[in-house]
């Protein structure tokens, strides 16, 4: 893997410091012997400068090593995990700078670490490689934490939306049509919008959109996507321009993003787009009316999706943004699952938790998620409805009052499933699960609707021992191993303490 110039400078600095210490030389002594200044050598060791070849030759001669050995990217056994860290690209995925951590200081700390800590880093890297924990998931985990730290509400973006609305005199009631957004993008930011060319390439069938930047940028849109998807993509482009985000991905697809800044700015642009399409002054009264219903109405949320020309994910994401600040509900989880029509597998692709303990089986677990979850039930309901032309629908919703078997945590979970009109035989569900407590009872009038099912659930089949579960798809192997280990430990402790 090709390393960036910054990492090459850091590696040279690490090697120089290690070789100097092996010779028992201080920076001052090395400066005296080489004729180079202390400050210059310090900048090399800290990874700030990469010397010219003549200076490298002087340093190599002073340290009695070959030129090639000094500039080689091969590190000693103790420093090798740092090199592996560079090559893994994980540091590009971790937002160290967003948390005020200087990468040079981080690497310096690692270089001074004990052999045991270096071994720990090497072990973690091997675990990441051997499991399906991709580098990109580091970024996504960091982004999830970023959203949770901010209560999933970003006032500066909401303010930016208000400013954009005023500047562009957007004063119509919802829905905000794709054509109106496209007009602003074309006339204010000089974009060309091409809805034909992308479909000439079979390899790009799953690309929703792509931007070719330049003096006049071109937004290529897949003509198979819906009007609501087109509106969302154009709104994201408006966000990138209005917010001035230059460090970004130019693909509107589900492919991995290059680094944390791309992922973060993609999230911010998506937040802006959703807030623009479902502005606070319209959506908050609608959501308050929803929570004031005396009984659960499965048609209410789909009607809001139609009203705002939105997607189920946009609606529940907007609800999760506004709930803590405006609706008095700040304990919830958000999940998105994907499924194929003829498959019994479900992929968790998004997860956010706010002020709750539950991990819901872990993000992108390789175990089998509980089939009792409303996320899975609405997917199965919608998929089964495709078997009959008379019952065929593209969207459905559901609700569940659930209690987790292992902890007794209770949630009132609302879920919407939709058939993709973009990818054949693919379906997805989005779920917002509010913690069931006194706050919820005060805010959601239909909490005690007798028609809402109450079900005991768990995280995954492998970690579940609910007796006689008819929906189980895998044995409780993980929890049985854990219980066995606990029994062994109890017996060993007893034998140790017996006289």
Residue 230 — very low, low, confident or very high, per pLDDT cuts 50/70/90?
very high
Q: Write out pLDDT tens, residues 178-226.
A: 999 999 999 999 999 999 998 898 888 888 999 998 889 999 999 989 8
Section 402-420 average pLDDT: 93
pLDDT at 61: 92
Residue 265 — very low, low, confident or very high, per pLDDT cuts 50/70/90?
very high
pLDDT at 319: 97
SS3 for 369-382, per residue? ECCCCHHHHHHHHH
Section 292-313 average pLDDT: 96
The secondary element (H helix, E strand) that includes residue 19 is: helix 5-22
pLDDT of 425 above 70: yes
Residue 144 — very low, low, confident or very high, per pLDDT cuts 50/70/90?
confident
In angstroms, the Cα distances linking 304 to 148, 279, 293, 300, 416 are 26, 13, 14, 7, 12
Q: How far is CA 328 from the centre of its chain?
A: 25
Decide: 278 and 310 in contact? Cβ < 8 Å: yes
Residue 428 — very low, low, confident or very high, per pLDDT cuts 50/70/90?
very high
Structure tokens given for 42: 């310090």
Cα dihedral 468→474→478→479 (10° resolution): -10
Return the number of other C-beta atoms located less than 10 Å from residue 132's C-beta. 9
Q: Write out pLDDT tens, residues 61-107.
A: 999 999 988 888 777 666 666 666 666 656 555 555 655 556 666 66
Return the number of other C-beta atoms located less than 10 Å from residue 109's C-beta. 12
In angstroms, the Cα distances linking 415 to 54, 135, 151, 292, 382 are 66, 30, 21, 18, 12
Exposure of 474 in the CB half-sphere (CA atoms within 13 A)? 19
Decide: 190 and 217 in contact? Cβ < 8 Å: yes
Structure tokens given for 133: 């924990």
Return the number of other C-beta atoms located less than 10 Å from residue 230's C-beta. 24
Residue 255 — very low, low, confident or very high, per pLDDT cuts 50/70/90?
low
Q: Write out pLDDT tens, residues 24-56.
A: 999 999 999 999 999 999 888 888 889 999 999
Decide: 341 and 208 in contact? Cβ < 8 Å: no
In angstroms, the Cα distances linking 144 to 79, 351, 356 are 31, 7, 14
The Cα–Cα gap between 196 and 103 comes to: 44
Neighbouring-strand partners of residue 417:
396, 429
CA R_g for the chain: 28
Structure tokens given for 377: 């039930």
Quick one: residue 177, left, alpha or beta (phi over 0 = left, psi -120 to 50 = alpha)?
beta
All structural domains of the chain, each given as residue ranges with its CATH number in brackets, are 5-131 (1.10.260.40), 152-277 (1.10.10), 280-484 (no CATH)
Q: Write out pLDDT tens, residues 306-363.
A: 999 999 999 999 999 999 999 999 999 999 999 988 778 898 888 888 888 776 645 4
Peptide linkage before 175 cis (omega within 30 of 0)? yes
pLDDT at 341: 83
pLDDT of 133 above 50: no
pLDDT of 248 above 60: yes
The Cα–Cα gap between 230 and 407 comes to: 43
Greater pLDDT, 255 or 498: 498
pLDDT at 385: 82
| Parallel, antiparallel or unpaired: strands 395-404 and 454-457 | parallel
Query: What secondary structure does DSSP assign to 221-249, as a single string?
Result: E-TTS-HHHHHHHHHHHHHHHHHT--S--
Decide: 67 and 56 in contact? Cβ < 8 Å: yes
Q: Write out pLDDT tens, residues 97-125.
A: 655 556 666 666 555 554 555 565 566 55
The Cα–Cα gap between 324 and 331 comes to: 8
């Amino acid at each position: 893997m090709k390393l960036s110039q910054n990492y090459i400078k850091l590696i040279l600095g690490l090697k120089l410091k290690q070789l100097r210490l092996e010779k028992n030389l201080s920076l001052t002594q090395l400066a005296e012997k080489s004729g180079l200044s202390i400050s210059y050598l310090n900048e090399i060791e800290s990874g700030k400068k990469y010397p010219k070849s003549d200076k490298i030759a002087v340093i190599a001669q002073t340290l009695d090593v070959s030129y090639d050995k000094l500039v080689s990217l091969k590190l000693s056994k103790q420093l090798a995990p740092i090199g592996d860290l560079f090559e893994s690209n994980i540091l590009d995925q971790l937002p160290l700078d967003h948390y005020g951590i200087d990468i040079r200081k981080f690497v310096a700390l690692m270089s001074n670490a004990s052999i045991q800590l270096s071994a720990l880093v090497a072990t973690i890297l091997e675990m990441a490689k051997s499991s399906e924990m991709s580098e990109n998931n580091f970024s996504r985990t960091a982004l999830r934490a970023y959203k949770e730290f901010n209560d999933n509400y970003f006032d500066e973006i909401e303010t930016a939306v208000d400013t954009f609305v005023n500047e562009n005199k957007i004063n119509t009631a919802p829905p905000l049509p794709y054509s109106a957004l496209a007009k602003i993008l074309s006339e204010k930011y000089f974009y060309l919008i091409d809805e034909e060319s992308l479909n000439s390439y079979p390899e790009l069938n799953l690309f929703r959109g792509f931007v070719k930047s330049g003096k006049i940028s071109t937004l290529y849109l897949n003509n198979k996507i819906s009007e609501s998807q087109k509106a969302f993509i154009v709104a994201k482009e408006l966000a990138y321009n209005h917010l001035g985000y230059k460090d970004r991905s130019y693909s509107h697809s589900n492919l991995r993003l290059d680094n944390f800044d791309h992922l973060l700015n993609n999230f911010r642009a998506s937040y802006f787009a959703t807030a623009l399409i479902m502005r606070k002054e319209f959506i908050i009264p609608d959501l308050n009316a929803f929570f004031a219903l005396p009984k659960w109405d499965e048609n209410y949320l789909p009607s809001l999706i139609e009203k705002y020309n939105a997607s189920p994910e946009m609606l529940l994401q907007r609800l999760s943004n506004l709930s803590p600040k405006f609706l008095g509900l700040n304990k919830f989880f958000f999940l998105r699952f994907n499924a194929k029509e003829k498959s019994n597998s479900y992929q968790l692709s998004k997860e956010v938790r706010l002020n709750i303990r539950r991990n819901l089986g872990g993000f992108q677990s390789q175990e089998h998620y509980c089939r009792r979850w409303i996320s899975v039930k609405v997917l199965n309901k919608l998929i089964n409805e495709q078997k009959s032309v008379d019952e065929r629908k593209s969207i459905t919703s559901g609700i569940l009052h659930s209690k987790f078997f292992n902890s007794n945590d209770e949630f009132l979970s609302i879920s919407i499933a939709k058939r993709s009109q973009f990818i054949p035989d693919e379906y997805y569900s989005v779920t917002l699960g509010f913690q069931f407590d006194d706050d919820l009872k005060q805010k959601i009038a239909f909490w005690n609707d007798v028609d809402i099912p109450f079900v005991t659930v768990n995280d995954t089949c492998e970690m579940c021992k609910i007796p006689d579960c008819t929906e189980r798809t895998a044995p409780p192997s993980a929890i049985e191993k854990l219980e066995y280990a606990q029994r062994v430990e109890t017996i060993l402790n007893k034998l140790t303490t017996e006289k």
